[in-house]
Structure 1
Amino acid sequence: MLSYLLFTLTMGGIYALLALSLNLIWGGAGMVNLGLAGFFAVGAYASAIATGAGTPVAVGLVAALGAGVVAGLIVTFATLKLRDDYLAIVTLGFAEVVRLIALNERWLTNGSDGMSGLKAPFKAELGTQGFNLFYLALVSLVVLAAWALLRRLDLSPFGRSLKAIREDQELAAFAGKRVLRFKFQAFALSAAIAGLAGALYGHYQTYISPDHFQPLITIYIFLAVSAGGVGRPTGAVIGAYAVVVFLEATRFVADIAPGLQPVQIAALREMLVGIALILVFYVRPQGILPERIPPAPRTI
């Protein structure tokens, strides 16, 4: 039972990083990123390849951050003139391209067989239970650091500029804000956080494959951010943990509805996720912690 609880909390932390990543780019800059699973995969594979070459896990995490930044800049450059639905479609296509590359380029990613035996830091020394406790602490510290950074950015002139771009980028540009620069910076930072989440996931599971990075992950994270409160880093973290608890709770559907086949149970779980997303938008469209925009400072 303790191992299961530690697993749930650790996955909640990894999802919280993804939620913070999405909240920055969607809640902050208003850019709909449906390619979150792609950045998640980029980070996981970058760290796996780096550590597979003999480097320490810390170097793999740095490689994941760098790969995320590069991928974010490439996607931003490719979508400079796109907004709303068109941006969402292109980012979704990016995630699928990443997954197909991972599936077909066996020389780099081992294809559909996946990459196994990823380094799990201190697992041999700590044992399984000790490693689970250590990794939960590590992920929690990373989530806390990312939350503190993004909350500080949210309250800074940078965060206020992003929100101005989100509301009306033409007006923000007219006011002297360098819209493209802010978009590049926001997308790069968001992708870096998602890449770091992918690296932490890979080294926790010690195995990754293209099947781990389906677009459904993005739906889960959108549900988390929507439930927590778009535009609020704290809400994104709360929503992520809530979604993981909800997803784990749906594993017990078989006990409630006996007689169902495994495929039917899996389909029912996804239906419950969809229903939850609809209910969140209907009951709490602003989320658990609605965004509060402070009034502009008075000038004398």
Structure 2
Amino acid sequence: MVGYLVYLTISAATYGIFCLGLNLQWGFTGLINFGHVAFMTVGAYATVLLSSQGVPLLLSLAIGAGCAALLGLLIGLSTLRLREDYLAIVTIGVSELVRLVALNEEWLTRGAFGVQGYPLPLGGFRPNQVGKIALIFWLTIIAIFAVWQLWRGLRWRWKKLKKQEKSGLGVVVWGILGGGIITSLFINGCIALQNYNYKAGLMLLSVIALTLVYAGLEYLVQSPWGRVLKAIREDEEIPRALGKNVFWYKLQAFMLGGAIAGGAGSFYAWQLTNVYPANFDPLVTFNAWTIVVLGGAGTNPGTLIGALIFFAYDSLTRFVLPQLNLVDDARLGALRVMVIGLILMVLMVWRPQGILGNKDELTLGK
């Protein structure tokens, strides 16, 4: 059970990083990217191929993120001056192009055989008891930060509801649920680190990376730069009239979101331990959009909540649906995707701004 929860934590953290990049592009800037997986693919392959040649892992990760940002630059220079639908179409094509290059250019990516046997972070690390306590200490710091962020968000929501003279029952429920999730993940993480293996180390690294990316984006989107992005999302003519270079801001957001997705690709490759082109099909982008829409576009905490809910759903349906005998095993995967689509349709009717989205702020041009 502990091992499976470690797997879920790594997956949720990796997708959380990946979706924070998409949320920066779409949720805060209004850029429609239906090929977000292309950035993850570039980051993953660049990291594992470079590290296989002896490049240090941290430098490989940075170069992978840089290559993903370069891809964002190339796409952005050719499309961001056009309408949003052109960007959506181009990103779909680019994601398939990148996947086909990974599949067919065997001299570089080893094709369908994939890249295997590459160095892994903390792969040979064997901590003693003092080292395990140090790892648990860092996990504790992250848990405290998560509780602080939860408390700050709930306090803001409570004050807003009281001003509107509405019930704060939902805030209490979310506080109990969020606190329970953080506590359970923290306890499971401590147990995993005490019985250390490679996956436990990767769990800690992925959670640390998620914390750094989240904190950095929270700072950026609340800065003057982030307010310009929000203005562009709502009506780009207004910041343009105020003398802002709208194209340059769009390009910055698109490249930064791509770099974040490229970094997520590195952790995705380290989790898989073997990288194949089939790992980067369009369903990965669909999952990212599901997470962002579910949690609430234009809110970083909502993206993390969406990632947790998505993987909780993934775990439940992976074990519960086969017991119901609704369909055979060959159609089970399609049924799970259909159920996700149904949940999204219900959510769009019940709460179109997502779980934590701010309907008053997030209009996306409407």
2:197 counterpart SS class: helix
2:287 paired with 1:220: yes
Sort the Cα spacing of 1:271 and 1:67 in 2 relative to 1 into closer, same or farther, 3 A.
same
Distance 1:281 1:118 in 2: 43
**Any stretches of 5+ residues in structure 2 without a counterpart?**
128-194, 362-366
Structure 2 partner of 1:108:
108
Structure 1 partner of 2:77:
77
Sort the Cα spacing of 1:292 and 1:280 in 2 relative to 1 into closer, same or farther, 3 A.
closer
Q: 1:209 aligns with which of 265, 271, 276?
A: 276
Q: Write the letter of the residue equivalent to 1:154.
A: V
Shift of 1:293: 7.0
Q: Is the 8 A contact 2:80 2:251 kept in 1?
A: no
Q: Is the 8 A contact 1:15 1:241 kept in 2?
A: no
Structure 1 partner of 2:245:
178
Q: Write the letter of the residue equivalent to 2:217.
A: L
Distance 2:331 2:39 in 1: 30
Structure 2 partner of 1:48:
48
Structure 1 partner of 2:122:
122
Query: Could you say which structure has the larger radius of gyration?
Result: 2
Distance 2:108 2:265 in 1: 17
Distance 1:124 1:34 in 2: 38
2:212 paired with 1:145: yes
Distance 2:328 2:359 in 1: 46
Distance 2:202 2:228 in 1: 36
Sort the Cα spacing of 1:129 and 1:30 in 2 relative to 1 into closer, same or farther, 3 A.
same
Q: 1:168 aligns with which of 230, 235, 258?
A: 235
**Greater shift after overlay, 272-281 or 219-228?**
272-281
Structure 2 partner of 1:188:
255
**Any stretches of 5+ residues in structure 1 without a counterpart?**
295-300
Distance 2:196 2:95 in 1: 34
**Greater shift after overlay, 248-257 or 207-216?**
248-257
Q: Is the 8 A contact 1:227 1:284 kept in 2?
A: no
In the TM superposition, what whole-angstrom CA distance separates every residue of 1:246-279 from its partner, at most 9, and x where no partner exists? 1222212443323743211122112122212222
Structure 2 partner of 1:264:
331
In the TM superposition, what whole-angstrom CA distance separates every residue of 1:22-80 from its partner, at most 9, and x where no partner exists? 11010111001111111010100010111111112112111111111111111101212
In the TM superposition, what whole-angstrom CA distance separates every residue of 1:190-249 from its partner, at most 9, and x where no partner exists? 000000000111122111111100111111111111111110011111111211221222
Q: Is the 8 A contact 2:39 2:262 kept in 1?
A: yes
Sort the Cα spacing of 1:29 and 1:185 in 2 relative to 1 into closer, same or farther, 3 A.
same
2:81 counterpart SS class: coil
Structure 1 partner of 2:21:
21
Q: 2:357 aligns with which of 282, 290, 294?
A: 290
**Greater shift after overlay, 70-79 or 123-132?**
123-132
Distance 1:275 1:36 in 2: 23
Q: Is the 8 A contact 2:17 2:264 kept in 1?
A: yes
In the TM superposition, what whole-angstrom CA distance separates every residue of 1:87-142 from its partner, at most 9, and x where no partner exists? 21111111111001001100010111111112212223349952222111111111
Distance 1:261 1:292 in 2: 41
- What CA RMSD, in Å, does the superposition of the two structures yield over aligned residues? 1.7
Sort the Cα spacing of 1:254 and 1:80 in 2 relative to 1 into closer, same or farther, 3 A.
closer
Q: 2:201 aligns with which of 134, 137, 149?
A: 134
**Greater shift after overlay, 184-193 or 169-178?**
169-178
Q: Write the letter of the residue equivalent to 1:165.
A: I
**Greater shift after overlay, 38-47 or 57-66?**
57-66
1:124 counterpart SS class: coil
Distance 2:96 2:250 in 1: 22
Q: Is the 8 A contact 1:13 1:143 kept in 2?
A: yes
Shift of 1:164: 0.9
2:265 paired with 1:198: yes
Distance 2:59 2:271 in 1: 16
2:318 paired with 1:251: yes
Structure 2 partner of 1:155:
222
Structure 2 partner of 1:298:
none
Return structure 1 stretches of 4+ with deviation > 6 angstroms: none
Q: Is the 8 A contact 2:76 2:254 kept in 1?
A: yes
Sort the Cα spacing of 1:286 and 1:254 in 2 relative to 1 into closer, same or farther, 3 A.
closer
**Greater shift after overlay, 125-134 or 279-288?**
125-134
Distance 1:83 1:190 in 2: 19
2:12 paired with 1:12: yes
Q: Write the letter of the residue equivalent to 1:148.
A: A
